Amino acid sequence: MKRFVVVVSCLVFFLLAIAPQQSTLQAQDDTKKVKLRWFGQSMFQLETAGRKSVVFDPQAIPAFSPPRLIADITLISHPHNDHNQVEILKEKGRVFEGVKAGKGTKSEWNAVDEKVGEIRVRSLGTFHDAMNGMQRGKNSIWIVEASGLTFVHLGDLGHTLSAEQVKAIGKVDVLMVPVGGIYTLNGEQAKKVVEQLKPRLFVLPMHYGVPGFDEILDATEFLEDQKNLKKLPDTNELEIPVDLNPEAPTVVLLGWKAPVKIDPKKEPEKK
């Protein structure tokens, strides 16, 4: 009996000893990853390795029903109502607008190059169409440097990039690119922009039609002939190790599902 008590005591001591180490290892592991979540249209949340949150282009489209996120930084590519709904956020943090209202009906690019803690945020002025903004106005690209990686969100880009714009953006690790056409780049145009920017790790299509929201084209054209394609239908989250070094970038189609609508008059099915 005494031997049994001694063995149990040793086991308990061992478990208590390794528990803090496991917690520490888990915490260290978490600091080596960033997470990128898609909430429909062009709305993303970047969670850095330091657990800071950057929200791009918050929207309040009923079909998507985005959650009330907490942001340390909120970035708005242009002042259209499917990209600038800051009020849906629970906390908005520092808000940066890439395009601001000017005199009369005109708008002006708002050049941004600032650091918020360890996160650097830059903007680059572009257009919402291929006619120098004459159709849909101005747009801004966001370049975010965080956790040793560079994330580029193209907003509602409507044209391929000039050599000067490609140089101004610089190296790209993760690219968020509109592909749904009509109001932005279509699939073929988006492929050309991806080739221009040459993202190192991931390409995430955005601003395309999904079931329940088909005002723009779906992602089919962009996905055709992609050599390295990964579909994640069951999650809207991409986890990225900061030390990832693949041979080629991956196009990732994040999952999205419309919220389940419950009819209060209908009795739930018995299982």
Taking only the tens place, the pLDDT of each residue in 215-248 is: 899 999 999 999 999 999 999 999 999 999 999 9
In-domain check, residue 223:
yes
Q: Are residues 16 and 147 in the same domain?
A: no
Encoded tokens for 110: 């708002």
Q: Are residues 15 and 38 in the same domain?
A: no
Answer yes or no: are the C-beta atoms of 155 and 140 closer than 8 Å: yes
For residues 239 and 125, give the distance between their C-alpha atoms in angstroms, rounded to a whole number: 29
Q: Which residues pair with 151 in a beta bridge?
A: 144, 174
Q: Are residues 149 and 196 in the same domain?
A: yes
Whichever domain contains 77, its CATH number is 3.60.15.10
For residues 116 and 74, give the distance between their C-alpha atoms in angstroms, rounded to a whole number: 11
State the pTM of this model. 0.85
Give the pLDDT confidence score for residue 212 in this predicted structure. Answer: 86
In-domain check, residue 114:
yes
Q: Are residues 245 and 197 in the same domain?
A: yes
In-domain check, residue 263:
no
Domain range for residue 7?
1-30
Q: Are residues 175 and 125 in the same domain?
A: yes
Diameter over CA atoms, the chain: 89
Q: Phi/psi class of residue 104: alpha, beta or left (left: φ > 0; alpha: ψ in -120 to 50)?
A: left
When the pLDDT of each residue in the chain is averaged and rounded to a whole number, the result is 87
Q: Report the number of distinct structural domains present in the chain.
A: 2
Encoded tokens for 71: 């942001």
Q: Which residue has better confidence, 12 or 150?
A: 150
Answer yes or no: are the C-beta atoms of 183 and 216 closer than 8 Å: yes
Q: Are residues 16 and 66 in the same domain?
A: no
Q: Are residues 13 and 64 in the same domain?
A: no
